[in-house]
Amino acid sequence: MSTYRYNTALFDLDGTLTDSAEGILNCTRYALDKMGQQIPPDNVLKGFLGPPLVISFLTICGMTEEQAKEATRLFRVRYTDIGLFENRPYDGVREMLERLKAEGIRLATATSKPEDYAVRILTRFGLIEYFDFVGAATFDESRHDKIAVLGYALDKLGIKDKNEAVMVGDRSNDIDGAHHYGLKCIAVRYGYGNDEEFRSHRADYIVDTPDMAADVILGINR
């Protein structure tokens, strides 16, 4: 484990700060049902946990771009008031954020979830107070993938030295997005990814718990 202390930590939301699987899967089923599409088995639907919705509908369900946009619209019909809160913070996340803030670490999100949703979720669960900036996607898809969201967050945070910041996430797009900008990435096992995914995309660190993620950020060896 590195002994370098990062000054800024950027966090994915789904699968890293909160367990949102129930809401995402329920809303995916809702959208597919409304479109008269066959609903894949759960092990296939789990591919929706992490990547942007449009990309998932394109790649997992084989939709056209027009169909994928309509499926995303229908997903949001249910998600906006119901699925959004079929969700909960992972055990230890609040304590991790408190610990990092107490040490003076600047905290931000870098999520492919639209900003309005991200703010509402963080507010609902009392987590928003820990964040200096909420980096998120847009509803119009002009900023939706991890590379675009991370670029936006890094620019708004004024980060020039990429060695001062680290990404924390649970899927390959978090790792790839971080590496695109020369950032290290901490992959968390308690989310939706797995070791094979982490290793094939060359995660810089793999941890089991939020507390262990904080150790890496603070440069603490145990």
pLDDT in tens, 1-48: 444 589 999 999 999 999 999 999 999 999 999 999 999 999 999 999
Is 148 among the domain residues? yes
First to last CA, the chain: 9
Listed residue (134, 148, 179) closest to 11, CA to CA: 134
> For residue 50, what is the domain's CATH number?
1.10.150.240
pLDDT at 52: 84
Considering only CA atoms, which of 218, 17, 41, 220 is closest in space to residue 135?
A: 17
Choose, from 12, 19, 170, 174, the residue flagged as catalytic.
12
Type of residue numbered 200: S
In a domain, 2, yes or no: no
Last-in-domain residue among 55, 85, 115: 85
Q: Which of 33, 58, 85 is the last residue of a domain?
A: 85
Q: Where are the alpha helices (DSSP H) in the chain?
A: 21-34, 42-45, 53-61, 65-79, 93-102, 115-124, 146-157, 172-180, 195-200, 210-218
What local confidence, expressed as pLDDT, does residue 50 receive? Answer: 79
Q: In terms of domains, do 156 and 212 share one?
A: yes
Contact 96/132 with Cβ under 8 angstroms? no
- Asked if 71 and 176 sit in the same domain, the reply is no
Identify whether 12 is a catalytic site residue: yes
Q: What does the pLDDT read at residue 4?
A: 57
Q: Within this chain, do residues 131 and 200 fall inside the same structural domain, yes or no?
A: yes
CB-based burial of residue 178 (10 Å sphere; 0-12 exposed, 13-18 middle, 19+ buried)? buried
**Residue where the block lists tokens 């809303």:** 27
For the chain, the domain total comes to: 2
Q: Which of 85, 120, 141 is the last residue of a domain?
A: 85
Residue 204 has pLDDT above 80, yes or no: yes
